[in-house]
Chains A and B, each alone.
Chain A
Amino acid sequence: DQQVKQNSPSLSVQEGRISILNCDYTNSMFDYFLWYKKYPAEGPTFLISISSIKDKNEDGRFTVFLNKSAKHLSLHIVPSQPGDSAVYFCAASGRSSNTGKLIFGQGTTLQVKP
């Protein structure tokens, strides 16, 4: 039972264009969402997050959009750079439950071509 799904295993974009990574979830109790970035031979690193009380959060080139009615979030990277090539994981938390647990999606491998 995959509560957080990233249905696109991979994405390839040209440098300078927009990258859009998508994530769907099924549990309406999730109230906090995070994106992590992972390079080979390294652990995931936190990128950006959004609370369920918001529909958008922006940090530099990275913006996360949340559509609660559709149980869908997306990460936009504009403009994309070759250094953005990595695996991106979305994760969800029932923050109000204070368990600290994160549920991760399967990951999407982004390749940004020079």
Chain B
Amino acid sequence: DADVTQTPRNRITKTGKRIMLECSQTKGHDRMYWYRQDPGLGLRLIYYSFDVKDINKGEISDGYSVSRQAQAKFSLSLESAIPNQTALYFCATSGTGVSQHFGDGTRLSIL
């Protein structure tokens, strides 16, 4: 079983819809992250959380919100999706070290 699981793996939706991407982990890590990947831009940090009570904005948080429901769960929401949010989204976790462990991503298309 994957240590970091993202659902759904693929999603196609329409502009204006509310979307939630979910992430769960079995690594026991306190720190969780959401990134988006766009061609030519690498991975950019959207939000991160160091524990259940801690939420921090990343580089590109506008248009997104997150919820840390438990140590193992970190969800990303797009309240009103727009086409330029079409991207590949990754969840990641880390423990006390610097290295992060990634899920296999959610490919999101907004029409």
Which A residues are closer than 8 A to B by beta carbons?
4, 6, 9, 32, 34, 36, 41-46, 49, 89, 93, 95, 100-107
1/0 per residue, CB under 8 A from A, across B84-103: the answer is: 00000010101000111111
Cβ of B44 and Cβ of A104 under 8 Å apart? yes
Q: Could you show 30 A-B contacts with beta carbons less than 8 Å apart?
A: A6-B42, A32-B98, A34-B98, A34-B99, A36-B102, A42-B105, A43-B90, A43-B92, A43-B103, A43-B105, A44-B43, A44-B90, A46-B100, A46-B101, A49-B98, A89-B42, A89-B43, A93-B98, A100-B31, A100-B33, A100-B50, A100-B94, A100-B98, A101-B45, A102-B100, A104-B35, A106-B40, A106-B41, A106-B42, A107-B42
- Residue ranges of B at the interface with A (Cβ–Cβ < 8 Å): 4, 31, 33, 35, 40-45, 48, 50, 58, 90, 92, 94, 98-105
Contacts of A36 in B (CB 8 A): 102
* Chain B proximity of A47: nearest CB distance (Å): 10
Q: Which residues of A contact B4 (CB under 8 A)?
A: 43
Q: Please classify the interface of chain B as helix (H, G, I), strand (E, B), loop, or mixed, using the class held by over half of its residues.
A: strand
Given contacts A100-B33, A104-B42, 5 further A-B contacts (CB under 8 A): A34-B99, A42-B105, A43-B90, A43-B102, A102-B98
A26 to chain B, nearest CB (A): 15
**Which one, B45, B50, B104, contacts A43 given CB within 8 A?**
B104
Q: A43-B4, A44-B90 are in contact. Are A104 and B43 (CB under 8 A)?
A: yes
- Shortest distance between the CB of B15 and any CB in chain A (Å): 26
Write the nearest CB–CB distance from A41 to chain B, whole angstroms: 7
- Please report the C-alpha to C-alpha distance between residue A49 and residue B45 in the assembled complex, in whole angstroms: 20
How near does chain A come to B32, taking the closest CB pair, in angstroms?
Answer: 10
- Given contacts A34-B98, A100-B94, A101-B58, whether A41 and B50 have CB atoms under 8 Å apart is no
- What is the minimal beta-carbon distance from A54 to any residue of chain B, in angstroms? 14
CA distance A16 to B46 in the complex (A): 39
